[in-house]
Copies of this chain bind each other. A is one copy, B any other.
């Protein structure tokens, strides 16, 4: 999708990136660099909690890391050998600084910090129940329920309390927690979100949302965190345990299509190569009589490479992305949105003039950006524009950690492909098939199914969706959606 940075244009948003390390000098700065490599997963806020000899200290800020931590004094207290950090995507007005993670709570006898990537599907009802019992929440974030569940557990040790709590929450989650004594990493039973373990040259272990963050701090990849695992990192090194054995791999396919960095590997599959194969499959499924193939930069570059190769057509630089992003002062009227697209993308008429163009994009959400781009290409002299989308059409919302919890604004939920083609002004339009997507990702997977969540495209949800069910039912009355039953808890 081409609109990642223009929030007013209706893009998809990942809900966060997390990073933690135990056992290096100045762990907070290392965490800063690791988070920087995960900045694409959240630009609305960032925080770091450092652990200096058993005492936790928190710093948080709004905006990009470079803004949130612009004041170097923020690092004054972030000393010590362990730290966890978080970059956050947040919808406008959702509460400001108090919702920036990692959350930190002080008890008379302990401290706990928590960072979360994902979305809990039963948080609302858990929160209601906790509040009825007298709990007071400090944020409007669902993440906080985990802290209350831990705190109310009657188990004897922190790790037992944490296991009990992890078995009470449902949905998508990669959690990083830190106490004075250890960092804990836990992944949901479906493995919806990516989560990896790495190791520094000095032997220290770390955990991060993507393997690209490991390389950014010169760490080597150790293994993916597996569904249902609870991993402890402390002075004793790495201890792998699990809080449940009832698991089933269902990685969110959007990580491969759109969210993750091309240089990350998820469950053994390199994201760039997966995208390139999506482009190749798309070329086989939907060829076009054209002269050149043009990418919507930068997110569809990999798929475009694959499409051009498989189609035997030259790839050309018909669109250029401005590397500087400036906010516009302008009202988001339709005319002004076009100005925003123009500030972000520009055409190269010398390349486009008189050409029949295949325009490869990674996705279509609302369709408005596509419409403006196609108009710009044609004004620059392209004679035909054939749009090829390297993923299936988005028709259904998701609830496992992506900010698309309604289908209201999804163009494909309301229009046929032919209608969409007409709406965006293309000469032809085609999407990759779901089967093509699964084949392109080619997950080395032993269990049942594809190992992927493809509910966006086919409405088949790998788990019950609890508190979100009423919304989905009402808006998808005539749609056929299905749910797998809950994995039996151990």
- The answer to whether the Cβ of A246 comes within 8 Å of any Cβ in the partner chain is no
- Residue numbers in B under 8 Å from A128 (CB-CB): 108
Instruction: Give A125-142 as 1s and 0s: 1 = Cβ < 8 Å from B's Cβ atoms.
Output: 001100100111110100
A64 near B305 with CB under 8 A, answer: no
Q: Shortest CB–CB separation between residue A227 and chain B, in angstroms?
A: 23
- The answer to whether the Cβ of A398 comes within 8 Å of any Cβ in the partner chain is no
Q: Please, how many angstroms separate the alpha-carbon atoms of A394 and B343 in the complex?
A: 33
- The answer to whether the Cβ of A151 comes within 8 Å of any Cβ in the partner chain is yes
A317 near B301 with CB under 8 A, answer: yes
- The answer to whether the Cβ of A372 comes within 8 Å of any Cβ in the partner chain is no
- The answer to whether the Cβ of A261 comes within 8 Å of any Cβ in the partner chain is yes
Q: Shortest CB–CB separation between residue A103 and chain B, in angstroms?
A: 10
- The answer to whether the Cβ of A315 comes within 8 Å of any Cβ in the partner chain is yes
- Residue numbers in B under 8 Å from A147 (CB-CB): 136
Q: Shortest CB–CB separation between residue A460 and chain B, in angstroms?
A: 29
- What residue in chain B is nearest A136 (Cβ atoms)? B105
- Residue numbers in B under 8 Å from A215 (CB-CB): 342, 346-347
A138 near B135 with CB under 8 A, answer: no
- Residue numbers in B under 8 Å from A163 (CB-CB): none
- Residue numbers in B under 8 Å from A351 (CB-CB): 270, 272-273
Within 8 A of B (CB), among A330-345: 339, 342-343
Q: Please, how many angstroms separate the alpha-carbon atoms of A255 and B426 in the complex?
A: 35
Q: Shortest CB–CB separation between residue A110 and chain B, in angstroms?
A: 9
B36 near A322 with CB under 8 A, answer: yes
A64 near B105 with CB under 8 A, answer: no
Partner of A270, one of B151, B272, B348: B348
- Residue numbers in B under 8 Å from A72 (CB-CB): 329
Known: A272-B350, A305-B316. A324 touches B64 (CB 8 A): yes
- The answer to whether the Cβ of A323 comes within 8 Å of any Cβ in the partner chain is yes
A218 near B272 with CB under 8 A, answer: no
B108 near A136 with CB under 8 A, answer: no
Q: Please, how many angstroms separate the alpha-carbon atoms of A97 and B138 in the complex?
A: 13
- Residue numbers in B under 8 Å from A326 (CB-CB): 32, 36, 39, 64-66
Within 8 A of B (CB), among A143-160: 147-148, 151-152
Instruction: Give A90-118 as 1s and 0s: 1 = Cβ < 8 Å from B's Cβ atoms.
Output: 00000001100000011111000000000
- The answer to whether the Cβ of A314 comes within 8 Å of any Cβ in the partner chain is yes
A343 near B106 with CB under 8 A, answer: no
Q: Which residues of A contact B (CB under 8 A)?
A: 29, 32-33, 36-37, 39-40, 43, 64-66, 72, 75, 97-98, 105-109, 127-128, 131, 134-138, 140, 147-148, 151-152, 212, 215-216, 218, 261-263, 265, 270, 272-273, 298, 301-302, 305, 309, 314-317, 320, 322-327, 329, 339, 342-343, 346-351
16 A-B pairs besides A36-B326, A39-B322, A262-B317 with CB distance below 8 A are A33-B339, A36-B343, A37-B322, A37-B346, A66-B324, A105-B138, A107-B137, A109-B131, A136-B148, A212-B346, A272-B317, A272-B348, A272-B351, A273-B351, A305-B317, A323-B323
Residue contacts A-B, CB under 8 angstroms, 27 given: A32-B326, A33-B339, A33-B343, A36-B322, A37-B343, A39-B322, A40-B323, A64-B324, A66-B324, A66-B325, A66-B326, A66-B327, A97-B97, A106-B137, A107-B136, A134-B148, A134-B151, A136-B148, A215-B342, A216-B342, A261-B320, A261-B346, A263-B346, A270-B348, A270-B349, A272-B348, A323-B323
**Interface pairs A-B: 7 shortest CB-CB:** A270-B350, A138-B138, A134-B152, A66-B326, A39-B324, A263-B348, A134-B151
